C-alpha cells in the first residue's frame, strides 16, 4: 500500500474511522488515481510489450524506473544495448514489439525515507484526501457537475452525451502536480497495454 493508515491519519486528521475501512478506502483511491493517470503507481516487477519509438527507446508505464535487465535506464525510458532491426515498422508493427521485464513505480514514503523512489508528497496527500472523501456522504449541489439541464418540477437532471456521473468518486479530486504524472504516449502507435 502506497499510503499507510498512520500517514492517512496524519494528513487528514481522521482519527475516528477504523483501520480496515481506511485501508479499503486508500486502496480504492489508489485504483481511482491509477485509472486517471493511466499508469500503475506501486513499485513492482512488471512485464510489458512496448513498441519502440523511432529513436529505439521504450517507454514503460510504471515510473520511476528502478531496473531492467539488458536495458539502460534513460530517464523514464529504456534503451536497449542493440538497436532494433532497420526494417521494423514503427507505426503498425505490434507483433514483434519487444516484451520487457522491468521494475518501476513508487515506494511508500516512510518505508525507506532516504529512497529516491519514495512516493511524492503531493501524490501521497491526494490519495489520503481522496480516501477520506470516499468515506463521506456527498452533499448534493444545487446543479450537479456536468449537468446540461436541471428541472425543479419533478426533479430531473440531464447530462451531456457520453457523460455519466460516478457517485463513488464524488468529492475526489487530484492536484495539478499529480495530474502532471499522467501517462503520455511518446511517438508511434503502441499496442494497448495492461499491467499486473
Domain count, the chain: 1
Look at residue 75 and tell me if it is in a domain: yes
Look at residue 188 and tell me if it is in a domain: no
Look at residue 156 and tell me if it is in a domain: no
Task: Tell me what the pLDDT averaged over the chain comes to.
Answer: 82
Query: Which range marks the domain in which residue 130 is found?
Result: 5-136+171-179
For range 65-91, the mean pLDDT: 76
* Contact assessment for residue 47 and residue 101, using Cβ atoms and an 8 Å cutoff: yes
What is the pLDDT, as a whole number, of residue 76?
A: 92
Look at residue 122 and tell me if it is in a domain: yes
Look at residue 125 and tell me if it is in a domain: yes
pLDDT tens, residue by residue, 157-186: 666 665 555 545 557 889 999 999 998 866
For 177-182, the CB contacts below 8 A with 24+ separation are 177/120, 177/122, 177/123, 178/33, 178/37, 178/122, 178/123, 178/126, 179/36, 179/37, 181/37, 181/39, 181/123, 182/36, 182/37, 182/38, 182/39
pLDDT tens, residue by residue, 108-133: 999 889 999 999 999 999 999 999 99
Look at residue 186 and tell me if it is in a domain: no
Look at residue 69 and tell me if it is in a domain: yes
Amino acid at each position: 500500500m502506497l499510503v499507510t493508515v498512520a500517514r492517512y491519519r496524519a494528513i487528514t486528521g481522521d482519527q475516528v474511522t477504523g483501520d480496515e475501512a481506511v485501508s479499503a478506502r486508500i486502496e480504492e483511491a489508489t485504483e481511482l488515481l491509477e485509472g486517471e493517470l493511466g499508469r500503475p503507481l506501486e513499485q513492482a516487477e512488471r512485464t510489458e510489450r512496448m513498441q519502440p519509438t523511432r529513436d529505439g527507446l521504450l517507454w514503460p508505464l510504471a515510473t520511476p524506473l528502478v531496473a531492467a535487465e539488458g536495458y539502460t535506464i534513460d530517464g523514464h525510458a529504456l534503451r536497449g544495448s542493440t538497436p532494433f532491426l532497420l526494417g521494423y515498422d514503427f507505426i503498425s508493427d505490434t507483433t514483434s514489439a519487444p516484451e520487457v521485464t522491468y521494475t518501476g513505480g513508487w515506494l511508500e514514503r516512510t518505508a525507506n525515507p532516504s529512497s529516491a523512489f519514495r512516493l511524492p508528497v503531493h501524490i501521497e496527500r491526494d490519495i489520503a484526501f481522496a480516501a477520506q472523501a470516499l468515506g463521506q456522504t456527498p452533499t448534493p449541489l444545487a446543479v450537479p457537475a456536468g449537468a446540461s439541464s436541471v428541472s425543479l418540477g419533478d426533479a430531473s437532471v440531464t447530462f451531456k452525451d457520453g457523460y455519466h456521473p460516478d457517485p463513488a468518486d464524488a468529492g475526489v479530486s487530484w492536484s495539478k502536480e499529480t495530474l502532471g504524472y499522467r501517462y503520455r504516449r511518446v511517438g508511434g502507435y503502441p499496442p494497448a497495454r495492461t499491467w499486473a
